[in-house]
Amino acid sequence: MATTEKKLFRHGGSWAVDVPMQFAKAVRDMNVIIEASPDEIRITPKAL
């Protein structure tokens, strides 16, 4: 599994993260599921 470190930034009234192209290319549909816990934030492709 590939990993990388990125910073969160403000975009309007929300927080955003710049997803590197190497990760975005693996997601055919740009809809994702975001899960958060006290220890992590997980972004996974939405199942078709």
pLDDT digit string, tens, across residues 8-44? 999 999 999 998 888 887 776 778 899 999 999 998 8
**Burial of 39 by CB count in 10 Å (0-12 exposed, 13-18 middle, 19+ buried)?**
exposed
Q: What is the model's pLDDT at position 3?
A: 87
Amino acid 48: pLDDT = 67
* Residue partners of 21: CB distance under 8 A and separation at least 6: none
> What pairs with residue 34 in β-bridges?
43
* Residue 35 · residue 42 · CB < 8 Å: yes
Q: For residue 23, report the phi and psi dihedrals to the nearest 5 degrees.
A: -85, -40
Amino acid at 46: K
